[in-house]
Structure 1
Amino acid sequence: MNEETNEQPKVVNLKVLKSHVKIMGTTRVHDSVLQDLDVQEKEQLAIYHDGQSILRTMFADKHIEKEFISLRKDALKKLKVSEGDIVVVGSRADMKTYLKALKETDKEG
């Protein structure tokens, strides 16, 4: 739908925190991030870094600072990121639009 209206995709850049919780498949962000992305808690969101993307179920956590995302060990490994790296987070549809625009920008540059 973003493609039809030429709206910018709702994605945010967040700094990675390593989670010490061992449950795989979930991640935590500040409550306001879900509001900024216009998504609900427990919705799967796409996380992207340097050519790699994964889907994770997001949980709101007021104890996580607004500019951070808490990722489990499996997500860190799949994305090839470390604590302090920046990742892009958005809904599946918005991430698809973002990656398409990124690919087109790379072709032009």
Structure 2
Amino acid sequence: MTRIIKNISGAYGITHQLDYEFGYDPLINNKYAVDILKQTVSDLKKIQKLEILKPVMSSEGFSYYLSKFRGCLWWIGAKPNKPYPLHSPYFDINEDVLPRGVEMMVKITIKWEI
């Protein structure tokens, strides 16, 4: 990267400065954790569907945890009908799904083999 910037800058007769910050590691779900999640969802009749998302270029602080421990990131469908993003101060969580999330975590914990 530095060489490319140096050569482009030299070609145009300008100076450059590259400031690069390393961010979060990529969030990579552990296969074992995903399999446990899938089993749990299929066991619980209250869960309407499990949607596996395609990989995206994103950052998430949870990736640091997953770089140290087996796990996976999943959402329980708490997004309200209002069009506010997750980290907006106007986001109003759909609390009706919280008991389902607790049940999922309990079932996953019971199935988990250390």
Query: Fold-level match, TM-score > 0.5?
Result: no
Which TM-score tier does this pair reach, normalised by the shorter chain? under 0.3
Per the normalisation by structure 1, the TM-score is 0.27
Which is greater in Rg? 2
Per the normalisation by structure 2, the TM-score is 0.26
Q: Which has the higher contact order (CA 8 A, sep 6+)?
A: 1
Higher helix share: 2
Higher strand share: 1
